[in-house]
Structure 1
């Protein structure tokens, strides 16, 4: 089974004219979206703080985070992005998928739009 990827445009939330186009693998095991630091810095996205993350191997690492506008399949949302270091993978995480109202179809493995849920 192949991996699902998404074509996304990442915008600086304070200057939407600064953006970059990426094709990111979708990782439904990753909460947040990870993008290489130099790419985020290229469009002047600044870190706001540092967070601790647990890796799949159980190690604890620290990375800077910031905010970016993520656009995919005609949807846009401001989401947290992690400033990935050289040895880190770039991925589109679940937080971005949910914020964009997107999901991976379990049968076709294609990205698709979904309706937002309202729990009463």
Structure 2
């Protein structure tokens, strides 16, 4: 069974001209999207809170912010986890 990958546009909701495009894996069970922190920082997206998540039999703490997303012609502001270096984007 393969993974579905899509290209998604991202932007800073407060400064829409700060934009990027990333390739993300689609995870139907994901509650949050994940984007590498360096991409979010480049867009000027700031963390608004920090949460603990269970992952891979343990737990990790990650920052959460809000990013604008464009997919299939629809623009939305979505919650996003600041992913670590080298982590793939997940939608």
TM-score by length of 2: 0.92
Q: Return the alpha-carbon distance in structure 2 between the equivalents of residues 47 and 14 of structure 1.
A: 13
Q: Return the alpha-carbon distance in structure 2 between the equivalents of residues 63 and 69 of structure 1.
A: 19
Aligned length: 91
Alignment of 1:1-120 (within 5 A): 1-55=1-55, 57-86=56-85, 88-92=87-91
State the structure with bigger RCO (CA 8 A, min sep 6), 1 or 2: 2
Which stretch of structure 1 is more off in the superposition, 81-90 or 34-43?
A: 81-90
Name stretches of at least 5 consecutive residues in structure 1 with no aligned partner: 93-120
| Richer in strand (by share) | 2
Q: Return the alpha-carbon distance in structure 2 between the equivalents of residues 25 and 6 of structure 1.
A: 7
Deviation, structure 1 residue 87 = 5.3
Larger radius of gyration: 1
Indicate the RMSD between aligned Cα atoms, in angstroms: 1.2
Q: Return the alpha-carbon distance in structure 2 between the equivalents of residues 67 and 87 of structure 1.
A: 20
Query: 4+ residue stretches of structure 1 with deviation over 6 A?
Result: none
Name stretches of at least 5 consecutive residues in structure 2 with no aligned partner: none
**Residues 88, 7 of structure 1: CA spacing in aligned structure 2 closer, same or farther, 3 A cutoff?**
closer
**Residues 87, 62 of structure 1: CA spacing in aligned structure 2 closer, same or farther, 3 A cutoff?**
farther
